Amino acid sequence: MQTERGMRLTRRGLMAAGLLAAGGARAQAWPDRPIRLIVPFLAGGGGDTLARLAIGPAQARLGQTFVVDNRPGAGGNVGAEAAARATPDGYTLFYGTNGTHAINEALYPRLGFRPHEDFIPVAPLSRIVLVVLAKRDLPVETLPQLIAWLKANPGRATYGSAGNGTTGHIAAEMFRVAAGVDIVHVPYRGNAAAMTDLAAGRIDLAIELIPAAFAAMQNAAVRTLAVTSGAPLPTHPNLPTVASVLPGFEVSAWDGIFAPAGTPAPIVARLSEAFTEGLRDEAVVAALRTRGAEPSPPMTPAAFAAFIASERTRWGDAVRASGARLD
């Protein structure tokens, strides 16, 4: 005769089997309605634009519409928290970046979500390279000349960023350490204000994402000295890399698609395939490159998770070295 403990274990086993069966049935029927993509940035901004580019071919492959839900605030934390609390059924996804998943936990003392426990990485989307910029009347024309000038004038040069803890700020701190120079940070409220002051000569330098710097680069309002990619960019083949002067220096922002933890594995696999295949679309690749981004190399969800783990360490160390903290 079965004991009471045995009966309890049997009931639990039956419940678990029922849940697994229900999850499998949901995964087979998915998607049968529109999918919400939470984008933690303002509509029309750089991140929002890149997210919308990526979902076009993915929704064609899945046969369902994606509805973008913009939830800006706190460097992406507002949207991330909303996505982390969503039902893990494949109908809510999150557009995450190196900010939300590698920088913010070192920058903010309190987060309303756990970047690496509350999300499943689905697929990377793009890499966005930065450029080293100088005001026109700074007496340098190359990156080696800039580093030499900075070493000869410690503490004299100022560099702008879109704000404390942003990708441009932390990338500039990485450059400061790698080059062994002393430069002064001037945080702004957004990329546009920093670029305006650099073009006007009110600050000396910036290391900024290409999409944010593109207009200033095009009208020659600033000197563009180098890119932070490991190899020259196809779209800017004449620009040298920082790594050619500081070996090993390579910095790029990145973005990707995430699902709330607990989303069924078959759904994650289908999403990963849809976004990965979508990034092979020639029109999408061309549109990304026009905006200063490159399609990310294809990765499985597990490989993407491993990449994020390494980036978490690298960006976190840079944030802590910079001393940047936000409440």
- pLDDT tens digit string along 4-43? 544 544 554 454 455 455 555 556 789 999 999 999 988 8
Q: Is the separation of the CB atoms in 140 and 302 below 8 Å?
A: no
For residues 169 and 158, what is the distance between their CA atoms, to the nearest angstrom? Answer: 12
Domain locations in the chain? 33-127+253-322, 129-244
For residues 30 and 268, what is the distance between their CA atoms, to the nearest angstrom? Answer: 11
The reply to whether 33-127+253-322 and 129-244 are identical in fold is yes
How many helical (H) and strand (E) elements, i.e. helices and strands, does the chain have?
Answer: 12, 10
What average pLDDT does the structure give for the chain? 89
pLDDT confidence of residue 219: 84
pLDDT at 68 over 70: yes
pLDDT confidence of residue 7: 52
For residue 153, the SS3 value is coil
- HEC secondary structure over 206-230: EEEEHHHHHHHHHCCCEEEEEECCC
In this prediction, residues 275-283 reach a mean pLDDT of 93
Portion of the chain with pLDDT greater than 90, in percent: 70
Q: Is the separation of the CB atoms in 60 and 68 below 8 Å?
A: no
pLDDT confidence of residue 15: 44
CA triplet 50, 120, 92: central angle to 5 degrees? 60
pLDDT at 161 over 80: yes
0.95 surpassed by pTM: no
Contacts of 47 (CB under 8 A, 6+ apart): 39, 40, 41, 95, 97, 255
pLDDT confidence of residue 23: 54
pLDDT at 168 over 50: yes
For residues 282 and 271, what is the distance between their CA atoms, to the nearest angstrom? Answer: 20
For residues 162 and 276, what is the distance between their CA atoms, to the nearest angstrom? Answer: 30
Band of the pLDDT at 235, cuts 50, 70, 90?
confident
Output DSSP code: residue 242: G
pLDDT confidence of residue 327: 66
pLDDT at 62 over 50: yes
Q: Which CATH class for the 129-244 domain?
A: alpha beta
CA dihedral 294, 296, 297, 303 (to 10 degrees): 160
Least confident of 20-34, 109-123, 233-247, 312-326: 20-34
Q: Which CATH class for the 33-127+253-322 domain?
A: alpha beta
- Of 277 and 25, the one with more pLDDT: 277
pLDDT confidence of residue 97: 95
DSSP string, 57-75: HHHHHHTS-EEEEE---GG
pLDDT at 306 over 80: yes
Contacts of 80 (CB under 8 A, 6+ apart): 40, 94, 96, 100, 104, 111, 113, 115
